[in-house]
């Protein structure tokens, strides 16, 4: 199993509502993909401008296919315009 944490800091002028509106289709379509176990959009409790995607995938192949999907290729570039920074980490479960 592969776990992904994508931590996003929105630009000061970006609205969380706009980000959620754009991200909704990515989340809904991704949840239908083969190999997707969990795919959620989350907001930091103390700083609403920090958004994280928490993902679980059956394997790297499923994650790689996700990254080539139409909704990722079309919508993620629009989401990136609202981001000040992005930190992406991939994990494998040990215990």
CA dist., res. 67 & res. 61, Å (int): 10
Q: Is the pLDDT of residue 34 over 90?
A: yes
Instruction: Classify residue 12: in a domain, yes or no.
Output: yes
Identify whether 18 is part of a domain. Answer: yes
> pLDDT grade, residue 93 (50/70/90)?
confident
Q: Which residues contact 93 (CB under 8 A, 6 or more apart)?
A: 1, 3
- What's the confidence (pLDDT) of residue 26? 97
% of the chain at pLDDT higher than 70: 100
Report the CATH number that the domain containing residue 88 is assigned in CATH.
3.30.70.100
With respect to residue 74, please indicate whether it lies within any of the assigned structural domains: no
Q: Which residue has the tokens 């790689």?
A: 64
How many domains does the structure of the chain reveal?
1
Give the pLDDT of residue 5: 98
Mean pLDDT confidence for 12-35: 97
Average pLDDT of every residue of the chain? 97
Cα–Cα nearest to 74, from 7, 18, 26, 4: 26
- Let me know if residue 14 belongs to a domain: yes
Q: Which domain range does residue 47 map to? A: 1-51+82-94
Name the pTM for this structure.
0.91
Residue 88 in domain: yes
């Amino acid at each position: 199993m592969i776990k992904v944490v994508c931590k996003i800091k929105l630009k000061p002028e970006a609205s969380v509502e706009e980000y959620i509106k754009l991200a909704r289709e990515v989340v809904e379509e991704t949840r239908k993909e083969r190999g997707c176990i969990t795919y959620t959009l989350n907001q930091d409790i103390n700083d609403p401008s920090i958004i994280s995607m928490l993902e679980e995938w059956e394997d790297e192949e499923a994650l790689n296919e996700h990254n080539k999907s139409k909704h990722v290729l079309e919508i993620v570039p629009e989401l990136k315009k609202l981001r000040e920074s992005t930190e992406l980490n991939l994990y494998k479960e040990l215990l």
